[in-house]
């Protein structure tokens, strides 16, 4: 057999093994000894190593939200799982995409096509995630998303091999937006980052506001990593909206909030709404600046014994408490590895089937489940930021106001725009 024939035969055999899973492959290839078949099945499933990637902002405006903390969380999950699956070692690789979708896309192609990366455990930035998700689908690879929030990832751009794990813009809008309107915040102005995540977050929150009888008085859109927010904040101030919603995140949100407070917007009666804040945002702002603000998260380190135990382990490595995105990466990585073990292969279809079949019950989520559109449905929480005098010490920042059950927090499947859903 020539080299092309050997390559074709190898690919055919690999395809059969991946489609059947380890047990099915052993049954189909009954002529070989069981031990040899089991060894071949593992090799076919993982190329001798199960390689998991994370494509993150490590040095830009979102670097503090996921970044190296998410890498640490993924490594913790691998270690806690035992370091191997199907007899193969599990390896974590990561790269900085510098908040450039084209860099993320190029890296993902190289990882899948040349570096034998089996799955991607997170992609920060929704624009990057949308491209990587499409590339992964074309190569039948799985992508788990914890830090990208655009609802369209599981809406019109949904993929059968992708999971939106921690939050989306619909869940945030329907948690924070609903709470603020109910408290009298019925006129809004949005400060929005000018890309897909910002658009979806603004639009989803605006729908909540208008659906509740409120009005949107305007918006100002700024580039990612904007150097100054004064012109956008002046528009918000002049609108006299009761609520200024910050539909951005990371350093952009921090700098915009800091400038808004200096301009006296809060003292003049405008509520500043953190539509995608996490605990790192509050830590950087400080309680004196952030006190009284409301935000929605899927996780808080000080909620119960289980969250505290894991978070203190994370703190030992990172010298900071984890946010919901980083806790989500740990949970998603663990859930993926458990599914690979259950499926007997790392092929996308059987692993996705195993992930959808198994509930997520850990310190991050209880009774979570993955829907056909890729949304991991779980409870969300509404928090108020404590005043300095209410805090008992470092990282004691949140007061829990409400738990929103997952079936209320996330968009109903009947309303999904995902073309995978049959209606």
For residue 328, what are the contacts with CB-CB under 8 A and spacing of at least 6?
146, 147, 165, 166, 298, 299, 364
The secondary structure of 162-211 as a DSSP string is: EEE-S--HHHHIIIIIHHHHHTT--EEEEEEESSHHHHHHHHHHHHHHHH
**Closest among 227, 122, 222 to 164, alpha carbons compared:** 122
Helices 230-239 and 250-262 cross at an angle (nearest 10°) of 60
Q: What percent of the chain has pLDDT over 70?
A: 89
Per-residue pLDDT of the chain (423 residues; tens, 9 = 90+): 333 333 233 333 333 334 334 333 333 333 334 333 344 444 445 588 999 999 999 987 777 788 999 999 999 999 999 999 999 999 999 999 998 999 999 999 999 999 999 999 999 989 999 999 999 999 999 999 999 999 999 999 999 999 999 999 999 999 999 999 999 999 999 999 998 999 999 999 999 999 999 999 999 999 999 989 999 999 999 999 999 999 998 899 999 999 999 999 999 999 999 998 999 999 999 999 999 999 999 999 999 999 999 999 999 999 999 999 999 999 999 999 999 999 999 999 999 999 999 999 999 999 999 999 999 999 999 999 999 999 999 999 999 999 999 999 999 999 999 999 976
Q: What is the pLDDT of residues 78-110, one digit of tens each?
A: 999 999 999 999 999 999 999 899 999 999 999
Residue 28: the pLDDT is 33
Residue 48: the pLDDT is 87
φ, ψ of residue 307 in degrees (nearest 5): -65, -35
Q: What percent of the chain has pLDDT over 90?
A: 83
Provide the token pair at 157: 């751009």
Residue 397: the pLDDT is 98
Residue 337: the pLDDT is 98
Residue 45: the pLDDT is 56
- On the question of a common fold for 48-167+305-378 and 171-297+380-414, the answer reads yes
**Closest among 269, 205, 273 to 240, alpha carbons compared:** 269
Provide the token pair at 409: 């927090």
What architecture (CATH level 2) is domain 171-297+380-414? Answer: 3-Layer(aba) Sandwich (3.40)
Residue 378 to residue 399: CA distance in whole angstroms: 20
> From the CB of residue 179, how many other CB atoms can be counted at a distance below 10 Å?
19
> From the CB of residue 68, how many other CB atoms can be counted at a distance below 10 Å?
18
CB 276 within 8 A of CB 61: no
Residue 64: the pLDDT is 78
Q: Which fold has domain 48-167+305-378?
A: Rossmann fold (3.40.50)
Provide the token pair at 273: 């709404």
Task: Round to the nearest angstrom and report the end-to-end CA distance of the chain.
Answer: 50
Question: What are the domain boundaries of the chain?
Answer: 1-46, 48-167+305-378, 171-297+380-414
């Amino acid at each position: 057999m020539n080299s092309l024939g050997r390559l074709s035969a190898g690919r055919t055999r690999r395809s059969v093994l991946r489609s059947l899973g380890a047990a099915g492959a052993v049954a189909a290839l009954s002529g070989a000894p069981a031990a040899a078949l089991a060894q071949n099945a593992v090799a076919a499933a993982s190329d001798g190593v199960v390689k998991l990637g994370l494509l993150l902002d490590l040095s830009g405006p979102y670097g503090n939200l996921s970044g190296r903390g998410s890498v640490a969380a993924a490594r913790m999950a691998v270690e806690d799982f035992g370091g191997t699956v199907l007899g193969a070692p599990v390896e974590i690789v990561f790269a900085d995409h510098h908040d450039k979708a084209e860099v993320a896309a190029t890296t993902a192609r190289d990882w899948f096509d040349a570096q034998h990366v089996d799955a991607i455990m997170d992609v920060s930035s929704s624009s990057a995630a949308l491209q990587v998700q499409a590339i992964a689908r074309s190569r039948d690879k799985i992508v788990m998303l914890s830090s990208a929030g655009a609802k369209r990832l599981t809406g019109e751009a949904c993929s059968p091999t992708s999971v939106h794990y921690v939050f989306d813009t619909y869940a945030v809008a329907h948690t924070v937006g609903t709470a603020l309107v109910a408290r009298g915040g019925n006129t809004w102005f949005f400060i929005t980052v000018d890309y897909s995540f910002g658009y979806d977050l603004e639009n989803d929150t605006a729908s909540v506001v208008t659906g509740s009888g409120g009005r949107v008085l305007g918006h100002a859109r700024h580039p990612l990593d904007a150097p100054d927010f004064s012109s956008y904040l002046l528009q918000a101030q002049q609108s006299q909206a009761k609520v200024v919603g910050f539909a951005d995140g990371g350093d952009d949100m921090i700098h915009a909030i800091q400038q808004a407070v200096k301009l006296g917007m809060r003292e003049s009666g405008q509520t500043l709404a953190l539509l995608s804040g996490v605990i790192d945002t509050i830590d950087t702002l400080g309680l004196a600046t952030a006190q009284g603000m409301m935000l929605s998260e899927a996780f808080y380190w000080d909620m119960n014994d289980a969250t505290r135990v894991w978070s203190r382990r994370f703190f030992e490595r990172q010298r900071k408490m984890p946010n919901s995105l980083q806790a989500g990466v740990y949970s998603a990585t663990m859930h993926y590895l458990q599914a690979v073990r259950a499926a007997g292969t790392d092929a996308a279809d059987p692993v996705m089937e195993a992930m959808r079949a198994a509930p997520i019950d850990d310190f991050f989520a209880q009774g979570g489940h993955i829907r056909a559109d890729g949304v991991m449905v779980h409870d969300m929480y509404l928090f108020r930021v404590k005043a300095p005098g209410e805090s008992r010490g470092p990282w004691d920042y949140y007061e829990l106001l409400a738990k929103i059950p997952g079936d209320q927090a996330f968009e109903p499947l009947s309303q999904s725009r995902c073309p995978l859903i049959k209606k």
